[in-house]
């Protein structure tokens, strides 16, 4: 069985991420969405909240996939889970340099795990979690950028911050 991992902070998960998930599923037998618990990175939502939003988003899309939390080196996690491929999304040239550097380091740490770069569909190429958070924090419409459950959580979080 070919196991793939799609790691990220997913703060929050967007329709661009969902696009990569849907397409990555065609390439592996089992796909794990791995939510990074990075204590050094400030996030709007905690790891459990992000995991729950991903579960809800997948359910909205009719998908039932494993969503897990991880910390530490991604290749160590991938090795423990028996993964043979790591999926990474690339939106623009600016993403490439960082992602390429990370892919080369991961390859050095474990040459058996392949990294597959996937570009999202054109309609999502500009989309990032940070952009979605910023628009939502300013009261803008994000319902066409994220699933319904994520839009509700974002609006709820930022409306409570404004009080």
Q: What per-residue confidence (pLDDT) applies to 51?
A: 98
Question: Out of 37, 81, 91, 152, which one is annotated catalytic?
Answer: 91
Residue 20 has pLDDT above 70, yes or no: yes
Residue-wise pLDDT tens digits, 106-121: 999 999 999 999 999 9
Question: Out of 41, 42, 162, 163, which one is annotated catalytic?
Answer: 41
Q: What per-residue confidence (pLDDT) applies to 93?
A: 74
- pTM exceeds 0.75 for this model: yes
Q: Can 55 be counted among the known catalytic residues?
A: no
Closest CA to 17 of 117, 142, 127: 127
Q: What per-residue confidence (pLDDT) applies to 161?
A: 57
Q: What per-residue confidence (pLDDT) applies to 163?
A: 47
The whole-angstrom separation of Cα 95 and Cα 155 is 28
Question: Out of 9, 55, 57, 129, which one is annotated catalytic?
Answer: 129
Q: Can 41 be counted among the known catalytic residues?
A: yes
Q: Can 91 be counted among the known catalytic residues?
A: yes
Q: What per-residue confidence (pLDDT) applies to 162?
A: 53
Question: Out of 17, 51, 55, 88, which one is annotated catalytic?
Answer: 17
Which helix (H) or strand (E) is 17 found in, with range? helix 15-24
Q: Can 130 be counted among the known catalytic residues?
A: no
Average pLDDT, the chain: 93
The whole-angstrom separation of Cα 37 and Cα 50 is 10
Q: What per-residue confidence (pLDDT) applies to 35?
A: 98
Q: Is the peptide bond before 12 cis (omega within 30 degrees of 0)?
A: yes
CA-atom Rg of the chain in angstroms: 16
Beta bridge partners of 5: 32, 86
From residue 7, alpha-carbon distances to 11, 48, 77 in Å are: 12, 15, 10
């Amino acid at each position: 069985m070919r196991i793939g991992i799609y790691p990220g902070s997913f703060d929050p998960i967007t329709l661009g991420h969902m696009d990569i998930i849907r397409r990555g599923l065609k390439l592996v037998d089992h796909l794990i969405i791995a939510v990074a618990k990075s204590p050094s990175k400030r996030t709007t939502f905690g790891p459990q909240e992000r995991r729950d939003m991903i579960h809800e988003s997948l359910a909205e899309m009719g998908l039932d996939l494993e969503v897990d939390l991880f910390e530490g080196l991604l290749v160590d996690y991938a090795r423990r889970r028996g993964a043979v491929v790591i999926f990474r999304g690339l939106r623009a040239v600016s993403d490439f340099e960082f992602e390429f550097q990370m892919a080369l380091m991961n390859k050095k740490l474990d040459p058996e795990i392949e990294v597959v770069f996937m570009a999202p569909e054109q309609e999502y190429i500009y989309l990032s979690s940070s952009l979605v958070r910023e628009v939502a924090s300013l009261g803008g419409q994000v319902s066409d950028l994220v699933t319904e459950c994520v839009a509700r959580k974002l609006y709820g979080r930022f409306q409570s911050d404004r009080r």
